[in-house]
Amino acid sequence: MSGSLEVRQFLVRHEGADTGTPALTAGVPAQRTSQADSHRVSNDQVRRARLAVANGAVGVEDCVQLLDMLGLMLDDDGRAPIQR
């Protein structure tokens, strides 16, 4: 996919995250322990979702549109709408 590097560079510029592949296979997330935690989306889940979208996007514009539709675009505080 020719747009992958371009999409990863876009994510690094707009999120400042390391987009290396070891993070994708970092392991299984810990089980949530309380009812309050069961509906909360962690920063790691958002980061992984963003990387999955970027991996499947055709280009930067496609990635931006998909991230926005899924509520994964970060606001000024660095939080995604899906986390509110």
Number of CB atoms found within 10 A of residue 14's CB:
15
Identify the three-state secondary structure at position 33. Answer: coil
pTM, entire model: 0.56
The pLDDT value given to residue 72:
93
Rg from Cα positions in the chain:
13
Would you say residue 71 has pLDDT above 60?
yes
The pLDDT value given to residue 33:
63
| Residue 24's pLDDT band (cuts 50, 70, 90) | very low
| Residue 23's pLDDT band (cuts 50, 70, 90) | very low
Would you say residue 4 has pLDDT above 90?
no
Q: How is residue 25 written in tokens?
A: 């296979």
Say if residues 60 and 10 touch (Cβ distance below 8 Å). yes
The pLDDT value given to residue 59:
92
